[in-house]
Structure 1
Amino acid sequence: MANEYVLIQPQSEGLGQIAVSINVINHIAAITVNESKYVFFEDGTGKKSLSVTSENGHAKVDLKVRVQYGRDVERVCRGLQDELHRSIATMVDFDDVDINISVVGFKFN
């Protein structure tokens, strides 16, 4: 069963439990994709193209995107993955995230 939050620090570490809503990770991912020059959500908004789930303290981000025509797909997607990892780690201090990018097409203009 998926949680509505990601556990960053368990209560057993003595300083209290720290958890972040998966909506926070969802917004971070949406902002990062929207700031990209060469990657676009499949549906244009990210409502159907972005999914964040969490199980056992591990987060999973699934993206369906289009890549700007003429760009190196592998390089662009690797750069987006790296940027998403950096953004999530910087903003919520959490790095146990899998990012899966599915390229469903190209954007021509």
Structure 2
Amino acid sequence: QGSLAGEIGENLDLGSKELSDQILHKLAHAAAGCIASSLQEKCEAGAIGAVVGEMVAGSFDMEPENDGDYSQAQLNKVRNVGQLISGVVAASAGYDVTVASQSASTAIENNWGKV
């Protein structure tokens, strides 16, 4: 999932505010999360984690701390919140919390802050 998430970040305009671009971005992550999790027969949980993780990360409005780069503390904060919320959403829907949380983490680590 990590390499797919990185490819999504490199090939889609993450800075676009167009609704269609934002939806395409989230759908691409849902597909990547699903594909990566299909080996464990957990497609839905992987898709939930990737989408929720990206949505949570996109809601953070913070400035980079280190010469234009986000600090490890900033990444940890975004990743932890994304994992928590994706786990809650997955559990509420009856899907695997661990898979959703890991998928959120992967999506965030490979895309967040790369606008």
TM-score (norm 2): 0.41
Which of the pair has more CA radius of gyration? 1
TM-score (norm 1): 0.43
Higher relative contact order (CA 8 A, sep 6+): 2
Structure (1/2) with the larger helix percentage: 2
Structure (1/2) with the larger strand percentage: 1
